[in-house]
Amino acid sequence: MSKFFINCDEATAICDKNQYKEATFWEKVKLSFHLFICKKCGLYSKQNAIVTKACDKHLHQSECNHKFSEHEKVEIQEKISKEVK
């Protein structure tokens, strides 16, 4: 059963990967189990989805073809994490 348990740091990392469709099936299973028992990570996941959706909407509506670099994505995630705490 310990294979299902991950800590919050691992959960947020998997959550970030999942937002960009990079998480494996097994990571998604572990994340789902963690989100079921951890409400703080559940909130992080919801907020992460909202930010991703807003950024995607903005990028699709604007005439520029700017895509966030991996570095920019990490910076945005770090800023959000600091604000949530």
pTM over cut 0.85: no
Confidence of residue 1 (pLDDT cuts 50, 70, 90): low
Rounded Cα distance between 82 and 14, Å, is 18
- Find the helix or strand (DSSP H, E) in which 53 lies: helix 39-61
Average pLDDT of the residues in 14-28: 92
Question: Could you tell me the residue range of the domain that residue 20 belongs to?
Answer: 2-84
Give helix 39-61 / helix 25-37 axis angle, nearest 10°: 120
Residue 8 near residue 38 (C-beta atoms within 8 A): yes
Q: Please tell me the distance from the alpha carbon of residue 34 to that of residue 49, in angstroms, as a whole number.
A: 17
Number of domains in the chain: 1
Q: Could you report the per-residue pLDDT of 39-85, keeping only the tens digit for each?
A: 999 999 999 888 888 887 776 665 556 678 889 888 888 888 877 66
Q: Per this entry, what is the length of the chain?
A: 85
